Amino acid sequence: MRARVVVVSVVLLAVVAGGAFAVWQGVAPDGRSRDADVSEPEPMEITDPVAEPAAEPEAAPEPEPTEAELLADAPVVSATSESGVSVTAPDGFLATEAFAQVDAEIAALRNQGYSVGVSLVDLQTGRSISYNADERLYPASSIKALYCAMVCETSGGSGGMADVMERCLVNSSNEDYEALIGAYGMPAFGAWLGAHGATEAAYDGSIWYYPDISAGELAACWQEIYRFGTSGEAGGAELAGYLARTNYTPAGALLRDECEVWAKPGWFPDNGELVATNDAGVVFSESGPYVFAVMTDMSANLDGLTPLIDALDAAHDVMCGGESQQ
């Protein structure tokens, strides 16, 4: 009996051991491979993320047209504002902010009780701005530019008095002005004024060192100075060289960093009989050269002209709008 038990025990041990061996070999007890029960993972599809399309940049807004551009194709007309400022300019110019500023600066001087004369003329188109341009006012030293122009035109230059003329114009020396008059006299000056648009001042100009003259006539004489100074004639470049370096001019102080300016101011403190603050000349602006004359009976206050001269320069840009370059 014990022998049968031993045999059975040995058989059972052999079976258990065989199963364990099969498991260790990777075979399930039912004879199937353990690996066959483990399904391989399906490959995962990896895709790049789809980029969102970039938003198209918004179109920049069109710039607003400038006043000059708005007037570029307008017909040129002559008109006078309610305040008495006359223009020859593109139709609609009187409605611009540029003109309104000129009008306001003239009114500011007038409201302080001053007489004001203004003349501006574009030298290539003839477009213009004027106010009270016929009233004759005391020129003070602004007349020296005209006298020196007469000397240079008739003598082909300063006639051996270059230093005298330079001091007369650049530093506004009265003594040197009188020295030139001593050499060239007054009758020739009166004739020169009459020949170049200053007919009202011509008679006094043949007698007096500082004849009263209007802004309109002063600007007309500056048109001749521009012609002569750019003509290549003898004496023209010499005169222009002095006028481009004059001291004290409000127009020069304001604009010479931007362009060439020939100018000659004049001023005189009120002495009960004579009084003046004036500036006149040629501005070679980007929108074309123009002559200007601003005359007042302010008492020696050149800074007081700067706002009006600034407004006139801006108005010229709008009024001509590049037309002077054509």
For the record, the structure tokens of 239 come out as 């005169």
CA distance 27 to 29: 6
End-to-end CA distance of the chain: 138
Domains and their CATH numbers in the chain = 74-325 (3.40.710.10)
The whole-number pLDDT of residue 62 equals 73
**For residue 110, which amino acid is it?**
R
Cβ-based neighbours of 294, under 8 Å, separated by 6 or more: 116, 117, 118, 215, 278, 279, 280, 305, 308, 309, 312
Contact 146, 221 (CB under 8 A): yes
Q: What is the pLDDT along the chain (326 residues), one digit of tens a residue?
A: 333 333 333 333 333 334 433 333 444 444 444 444 444 455 555 555 555 666 667 767 778 888 888 898 899 999 999 999 999 999 999 999 999 999 999 999 999 999 999 999 999 999 999 999 999 999 999 999 999 999 999 999 999 999 999 999 999 999 999 999 999 999 999 999 999 999 999 999 999 999 999 999 999 999 999 999 999 999 999 999 999 999 999 999 999 999 999 999 999 999 999 999 999 999 999 999 999 999 999 999 999 999 999 999 999 999 998 543 33
The whole-number pLDDT of residue 69 equals 86
For the record, the structure tokens of 28 come out as 């399930």
The whole-number pLDDT of residue 255 equals 98
Buried residues in 244-274 as b, exposed as e (16+ CB within 10 A) = bebebbbbbbbbbeeeebbbbbbbbeeeeee
The whole-number pLDDT of residue 219 equals 98
The whole-number pLDDT of residue 72 equals 82
The whole-number pLDDT of residue 242 equals 98
The whole-number pLDDT of residue 321 equals 82
